[in-house]
Amino acid sequence: MGRFLILCLALISVFLPPALASQSYVVYMGANPELTTTSVKPHHVMLSSLMGSELAANEAMLYVYNNFNGFAAKLTPEQAAQLSEREDVVAVLPNRKNHLHTTRSWEFLGLEDSYGNVPKDSLWAKSNYGKDVIIGVLDTGVWPESKSYSDEGLGPIPASWKGECVAGDQFGPENCNRKLIGGKFFLKGYEAEEGRLNTTRTGDYRSARDLDGHGTHTSTTAGGNFVPGANTLGFANGTAKGGAPLARIAGYKVCWPSTADSGGCYDADILAAFDEGVKDGVNVFSVSLGSDPPLNPLFADAIAIGSFHALKKGITTVASAGNSGPTPGTVSNTAPWILTVAAASIDRDFRAFVVLGNNVTIRGESLANEELDASKLYPLIDAASAPAASSNSSSSKYCLPGSLDETKVKGKIVACLRGITARVDKSYQVRVAGGVGVILINPAENANELLADPHVLPGLGLTYESGQEVYNYIHTTKEPLATILPARTVVGVEPAPVLTSFSSQGPNSLIPDITKPDIAGPGSNILAAFTEAHAITEEPNDSRIVKYNIISGTSMSCPHLSGVSASLKALYPNWSPAAIQSAIMTTAAQTDNTKGEQILESSNNASTPFGIGAGNVNPNGAADPGLIYDNDYADYFTFFCALGFSKNNIKAISGESFTCPQQRPKVVNLNYPSLTVSALGQSETVKRTVTNVGAASSTYTVSISKPDGVDVEISPSTLSFSALGQKKSFTVTLSKVTATEGYVFGSYTWSDGTHSVRSSIIVKSGAAPRDVSADDLN
Ligand SMILES: *[C@@H]1O[C@H](CO)[C@@H](O)[C@H](O)[C@H]1NC(C)=O
Ligand SMILES: *[C@@H]1O[C@H](CO)[C@@H](O)[C@H](O)[C@H]1NC(C)=O
Ligand SMILES: *[C@@H]1O[C@H](CO)[C@@H](O)[C@H](O)[C@H]1NC(C)=O
Ligand SMILES: *[C@@H]1O[C@H](CO)[C@@H](O)[C@H](O)[C@H]1NC(C)=O
Ligand SMILES: *[C@@H]1O[C@H](CO)[C@@H](O)[C@H](O)[C@H]1NC(C)=O
Ligand SMILES: *[C@@H]1O[C@H](CO)[C@@H](O)[C@H](O)[C@H]1NC(C)=O
């Protein structure tokens, strides 16, 4: 860790970002001061005095933020260090790069039936499809010609809206309407680090227009209008629509093609987008991007900072958990005021089969739209046995570029191992070498995760186990033969949902006593609108432009929850972000579609809160949660005390004076809808408060499912309410009965006979943390 980012307010690690050699930095100075005089430009003055001239300061300044106190600028590490020593600077963040981490899914979630009818208790019916709520999507932009952005059936743009569609390359106000009401782009942070965007080389647009397709997919998943007959290459045909079909969409383009990899979304640009979105009047931010652990401290993390200052305005932020699972501790976007989303499957497959010469038929997944002659068998080889002269079998078994020998591959079906390169690139390599089909085999690491891919020739993906059967057949048969039967869309698949293996997992590496992710939603093989700027795969020769694409990721599950949050916001305009989060978490589904079995992970093990959070989203349940665990802006101040922030830290970040209690509060006492004790000593008593949002007069009793080796007592065990909005508190005492190795899981549920309000309990035994009084820290 370098020494140049010394923080002035208090030398506690909570603010210390990892030192990176950046060319640009975000200077974060906390909340806006109470009285801002608009005539002076304090940040420019600050920078001028640092740089010695106003001109130099103007050149260096990238953004001055409005919704909080701070700016982004091109600085040397020495200048960054100097600024970080100032009294009024909370943190100086290197301008770090983040990454981007249908539609049957709504029917699967119960918002409509299979005929597209919407039941009376549907969140959609109750919220009028999220009418007039504004969803701001931080992503790669929008493809405005998509029918999913049609404004049919929408009234005038809400009067509160102050945003616009900013003119740029092939995009401007003429591309917007009453559905797509905003389009802005932010790339000063990108260009400070990577140089000027080369539109010729990258093909990208200097505007909110979406080259990549990711932003079009996520934004239409959140708030797309109804589009009948949407499909990808004929697959998943149906009416596409978002989670809040009558909501409005504003695209904030913050991710750009990066020289190093597939794309980059820089902190300075992300914060600028949050800033503009707040000013424009966004109600829900949808953020399908993030960084991977090691995570930056809360107030050195752009998404945590942006969402915290949005929270003050009552704006919900929904973010993806990341695609680094199933390794434990990989979850990102872990601030408690963010709704953090894991990815699960729905009950739809794109099922294809390989038939081997011994008549064994093996099931796989595919979106390939070319077909082999199914009445005929083709020679089948393991790609490991067909290396080009210039390559070797360890490269060719993965079908890496240039690794295959044409003479050995021509006319054959080729089995390639998944990994290293893009799945669709392997099928392209087989095609280049003259092969007729591809069988893509999972390695042991992601044994059961099957993603349907639009291969450029007939082909399919197989699980690890099925793949071993194919390899076995090849290696024990003199003349191995096979054919591939074309893929078909199948619905009603069991079990579903299943947590995807790529979905990032807890525990929360930053704040162990706040378990993340919070919730799971559909994120596997999701259909939504796409860019028409390039073909479905970006392989050479692929000319298949699609209006809708089927892709997977927590990037896809995140906007499902953004849409649900927007619909809840339409139904309950006065609910806080914490109330929306609580309603979604406490009503989540625990069981799959097979006779009420507990939701599985793709390993076939039962899911835990580290994978699936509170469970799979149940939107209609969230519309009527009964009780909520609420928090307002100021409630997070006590949480900051628990993290060890000083009075000055809290004043700086929040803009408000707050004195931490003498006895240092505990993170676990944040009024969160789940309960985590990551180091349980002998016992721990936790306080929670619920607010009645169900029937005015109601009585709830609690039932407990104890984690192994832990006793749980809740007092009182009955809560009686006589009015809406009434609050009641209770305590949960966890006592260690037997020391456990690793984490154990349980739950407690309040029920009035109509509503079930469930919270996960997550516990690990350990030494009780040292009690620190606030005095130690100031
Ligand atoms: C942009 O990319 C094109 C094509 O790769 C290249 O010819 C051109 O020199 C680049 N421009 C700049 C300014 O780097
Ligand atoms: C999709 O479904 C619609 C309505 O049922 C039908 O008219 C259309 O032909 C279908 N398209 C495809 C490609 O299957
Ligand atoms: C496979 O099945 C076909 C049709 O049922 C049959 O004619 C053929 O002999 C079988 N081949 C093997 C190897 O069992
Ligand atoms: C195989 O080829 C690759 C790429 O040319 C090379 O990196 C690797 O070391 C080779 N492996 C063996 C076992 O020769
Ligand atoms: C790619 O397209 C070109 C031109 O249409 C064609 O000559 C070539 O054979 C194609 N290559 C592959 C691998 O399909
Ligand atoms: C599944 O559960 C078994 C038994 O608890 C455990 O040994 C195994 O590691 C688990 N597998 C995964 C992938 O988590």
| pLDDT tens digits, 592-635 | 999 889 999 988 999 999 999 999 999 999 999 999 999 999 99
Nearest to 74 by CA among 58, 54, 97, 98: 58
Tokens of 574: 């006065």
Nearest to 331 by CA among 612, 615, 678, 670: 612
- pTM of the predicted model as reported, rounded to 2 decimal places: 0.92
Share of the chain above pLDDT 70, in %: 93
Rounded mean pLDDT, 494-519: 96
Alpha-carbon span 155 to 134, nearest angstrom: 13
Order of all β-strands in the sheet with 264-266: 255-256, 264-266, 97-100, 289-290
pLDDT of residue 112: 81
Tokens of 244: 């809040």
Cα dihedral 45, 48, 52, 58 sign: negative
**Terminal C-alpha separation, the chain:** 23
Ligand closest to the CA atom of residue 398: 4
Has residue 532 got a pLDDT over 90? yes
Hey, which of 355, 359, 483 would you mutate to test ligand 3's pocket, going by the most ligand atoms within 8 Å of its Cβ?
359
Has residue 326 got a pLDDT over 50? yes
Q: Confidence band (pLDDT; 50, 70, 90) for 13?
A: very low
Per the CB < 8 A criterion, the answer to whether 346 and 591 are in contact is: no
pLDDT of residue 582: 98
Q: Which residues pair with 477 in a beta bridge?
A: none
Lowest mean pLDDT among 272-276, 370-374, 725-729: 370-374
Hey, which of 541, 542, 543 would you mutate to test ligand 5's pocket, going by the most ligand atoms within 8 Å of its Cβ?
541
pLDDT of residue 770: 44
| 86 burial level (CB within 10 Å; 0-12, 13-18, 19+) | middle
- pLDDT 10s digits, 214-259: 999 999 999 999 999 999 999 999 999 999 999 999 999 999 987 6
Q: How does DSSP classify residue 209?
A: B
Has residue 488 got a pLDDT over 80? yes
What are the backbone angles phi and psi of residue 544, rounded to the nearest 5°?
Answer: -85, 90
Helices (H) and strands (E) in the chain, counts: 20, 37
Per the CB < 8 A criterion, the answer to whether 185 and 202 are in contact is: no
Tokens of 648: 């000055």
- C-alpha 436 to ligand 5 mean position (Å): 14
Rounded mean pLDDT, 479-505: 95
- C-alpha 469 to ligand 3 mean position (Å): 18
Rounded mean pLDDT, 531-551: 93
Per the CB < 8 A criterion, the answer to whether 640 and 651 are in contact is: no
Has residue 107 got a pLDDT over 90? no
Question: In 3-state terms, what secondary structure has residue 96?
Answer: coil
pLDDT of residue 420: 86
Where are any strands of DSSP class E within 2-120?
A: 24-28, 61-64, 70-74, 91-94, 97-100
Question: How many C-beta atoms lie closer than 10 Å to residue 20's C-beta?
Answer: 14
Q: Confidence band (pLDDT; 50, 70, 90) for 766?
A: confident
Instruction: Name the pairing type of β-strands 180-185 and 248-253.
Output: parallel
Question: In 3-state terms, what secondary structure has residue 165?
Answer: strand
Hey, which of 394, 397, 405, 429 would you mutate to test ligand 4's pocket, going by the most ligand atoms within 8 Å of its Cβ?
394
pLDDT of residue 38: 54
| 71 burial level (CB within 10 Å; 0-12, 13-18, 19+) | buried
Where are any strands of DSSP class E within 479-572?
A: 481-491, 498-499, 519-522, 526-529, 548-551
Has residue 34 got a pLDDT over 80? no
Pick the residue with more confidence: 539 or 241? 241
Amino acid at 486: P
Where are any strands of DSSP class E within 442-588?
A: 459-462, 481-491, 498-499, 519-522, 526-529, 548-551
Per the CB < 8 A criterion, the answer to whether 215 and 140 are in contact is: yes
Q: Which residues pair with 232 in a beta bridge?
A: 235
432 lines ligand 5 (CB under 6 A): yes
Ligand closest to the CA atom of residue 377: 3
Q: Confidence band (pLDDT; 50, 70, 90) for 35?
A: low
Q: How does DSSP classify residue 702?
A: E
* Omega within 30 of 0 (cis) for the link into 573: no
23 lines ligand 6 (CB under 6 A): no
Q: Confidence band (pLDDT; 50, 70, 90) for 37?
A: low
pLDDT of residue 117: 79
Helix H or strand E segment including 47: helix 42-51
Ligand closest to the CA atom of residue 196: 1
- C-alpha 325 to ligand 4 mean position (Å): 28
Q: Which residues pair with 316 in a beta bridge?
A: 284
pLDDT of residue 260: 54
What are the backbone angles phi and psi of residue 736, rounded to the nearest 5°?
Answer: -75, 125
Lowest mean pLDDT among 384-393, 439-448, 515-524: 439-448
Rounded mean pLDDT, 172-198: 96
What residues are labeled active site?
139, 214, 555
Helix H or strand E segment including 396: helix 393-396
Determine what percent of the chain falls in helix, strand and coil, rounding each to the nearest 5: 25, 30, 50
Which atom of ligand 2 sits closest to the CA of residue 231?
13
Q: Say which residue the tokens 């601030």 belong to.
A: 335
Q: Confidence band (pLDDT; 50, 70, 90) for 421?
A: confident
Residue having the nearest C-alpha atom to atom 13 of ligand 4:
394
Has residue 769 got a pLDDT over 70? no
Amino acid at 771: D
- pLDDT 10s digits, 111-132: 887 777 788 888 988 888 899 9
- pLDDT 10s digits, 671-710: 999 999 999 999 999 999 999 999 999 999 999 999 999 9
pLDDT of residue 7: 26
Question: How many C-beta atoms lie closer than 10 Å to residue 660's C-beta?
Answer: 23
Question: How many C-beta atoms lie closer than 10 Å to residue 534's C-beta?
Answer: 14
- pLDDT 10s digits, 654-679: 989 999 999 999 999 999 999 999 99
- C-alpha 189 to ligand 1 mean position (Å): 20
Which atom of ligand 1 sits closest to the CA of residue 199?
1
690 lines ligand 5 (CB under 6 A): no
* Ranges 17-26, 177-186, 254-263, 422-431, most confident: 177-186
586, 590, 592, 594 alpha-carbon torsion, rounded to 10° = -130
Q: Confidence band (pLDDT; 50, 70, 90) for 3?
A: very low
Amino acid at 633: Y
Residue having the nearest C-alpha atom to atom 4 of ligand 5:
541
What are the backbone angles phi and psi of residue 345, rounded to the nearest 5°?
Answer: -85, 170
Q: Confidence band (pLDDT; 50, 70, 90) for 102?
A: very low
Tokens of 637: 């101040």
Lowest mean pLDDT among 442-446, 549-553, 771-775: 771-775
- C-alpha 218 to ligand 5 mean position (Å): 33
Alpha-carbon span 316 to 45, nearest angstrom: 34
Lowest mean pLDDT among 499-503, 644-648, 771-775: 771-775
177 lines ligand 6 (CB under 6 A): no
pLDDT of residue 17: 45
pLDDT of residue 628: 98
Which residues approach ligand 3 with their CB closer than 6 A? 358-359
